[in-house]
């Protein structure tokens, strides 16, 4: 096989999708599976594979160097709550975090990316491998948006963009033009469940990207689990930012939404201003 590429694999389908697409294009893929995150079946699919503790940055770098990899994709979700477990981090890496004034998840990942770059390993944008998974503008379900839902989405979009740009989260749950939950460090699906408990049935979920999204380190995504969370909590709509949010297991998710009369759609941000 030809060109070599590394994949840092978190949870969800994103790592598997990226691996399969890279292999289709002739890449030899060295996959670093993050313990407690990565799906186990990647081990047999990768050309090279090793398990890495999430805080073991030095081993991560060594694995890619050993496999002659100098370009890497960061894929999948990582439980950001573990970032704050300093006892899990390399002792040599901890001082870099101590120098940070604000330890947001994005900020910490950027420090890791910069560290890897100095070691000759560049983290690159994975979106060229994922073109078909980005949501195009329009309604995807049998259920269409009512004027009331459109107003909820417009309201939610404005709030979601603001919290995304503050690096708080990229998802809001709204009802009757009130924010009932904001995505924090727990992730989208858990925020939806919390929103359902707080706001009751009939809420709307809006997920966006940051205004200046660094796609190397974070691509917002939804999937079947997202729609399951909405259905389970009594939500009635999901709107994502068109061209910016990935949608995995889309066919299955839309089928579930249709069965529950849940709206799924994608909007351009400027279309709701």
Q: What is the pLDDT of residue 186?
A: 84
Torsion of CA 44, 37, 85, 57, to 10 degrees: 40
Topology of 4-129 in CATH?
Answer: Rossmann fold (3.40.50)
CB environment 77-102: b (16+ within 10 A), e (fewer): bbebebbeeeeebbeebeebbeeeee
Q: For the chain, what percentages of helix, strand and coil (3-state, to nearest 5) are there?
A: 40, 20, 35
Q: Which two tokens stand for residue 17?
A: 């999708």
Q: In degrees rounded to 5, what are phi and psi of residue 72?
A: -135, 145
CA distance 217 to 116: 13
DSSP string, 95-106: HHHHT-S---HH
For residues 235-251, b (16+ Cβ closer than 10 Å) or e, as one string? bbbbbbbbebbbbbbbe
Q: Decide if 80 contacts 217 (C-beta within 8 A).
A: no
What pLDDT is attached to residue 1?
47
Q: Six-digit token pair at 112?
A: 């890791």
CATH 3.40.50.20 range(s) for the chain read 4-129
Query: Tens digits of per-residue pLDDT, 6-53?
Result: 999 998 899 999 999 999 999 999 999 998 888 778 999 999 999 998
Nearest CA to 200 out of 165, 235, 170, 167 is that of 235
The closest alpha carbon to 249, from 229, 219, 226, belongs to 226
The CATH number that domain 131-272 falls under is 3.40.140.80
Q: CATH 3.40.140.80 spans which residues of the chain?
A: 131-272
Take residue 130 and report the two structure tokens written for it.
Answer: 């994922």
**Is the Cβ–Cβ distance between 141 and 263 less than 8 Å?**
yes
Q: What is the mean pLDDT of each run of 10 residues along the chain (273 residues)?
A: 87 92 95 88 93 87 96 86 56 65 72 90 94 94 97 96 92 97 90 95 96 89 96 98 96 98 93 59
């Amino acid at each position: 096989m030809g060109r070599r590429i590394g994949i840092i694999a978190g949870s969800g389908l994103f790592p598997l999708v990226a691996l399969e697409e890279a292999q289709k294009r002739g890449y030899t893929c060295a996959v670093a599976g993050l313990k407690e995150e990565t799906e186990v079946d990647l081990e047999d699919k990768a050309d090279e594979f090793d398990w890495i503790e999430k805080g073991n940055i030095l081993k991560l770098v060594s694995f890619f160097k050993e496999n002659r990899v100098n370009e890497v994709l960061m894929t999948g979700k990582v439980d950001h709550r573990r970032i704050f477990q300093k006892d899990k981090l390399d002792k040599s890496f901890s001082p870099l975090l101590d120098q940070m004034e604000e330890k947001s998840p994005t900020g910490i990942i950027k420090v890791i990316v910069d560290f890897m770059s100095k070691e000759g390993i560049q983290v690159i944008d994975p979106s060229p491998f994922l073109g078909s998974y980005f949501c195009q503008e329009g309604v995807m379900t049998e259920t269409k948006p009512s004027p009331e839902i459109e107003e909820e989405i417009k309201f939610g979009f404005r709030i979601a963009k603001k919290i995304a740009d503050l690096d708080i989260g990229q998802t809001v749950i709204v009802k009757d033009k009130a924010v009932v939950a904001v995505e924090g460090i727990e992730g989208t699906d858990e925020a939806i469940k919390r929103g359902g408990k707080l706001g009751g049935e009939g809420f709307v979920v809006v997920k966006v990207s940051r205004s200046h999204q660094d796609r190397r380190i974070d691509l917002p995504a939804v999937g079947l689990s997202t729609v399951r969370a909405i259905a389970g909590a009594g939500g009635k709509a999901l709107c994502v930012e068109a061209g910016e949010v990935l949608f995995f297991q889309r066919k299955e998710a839309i089928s579930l939404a249709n069965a529950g009369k849940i709206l799924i759609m994608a909007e351009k941000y400027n279309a709701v201003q």
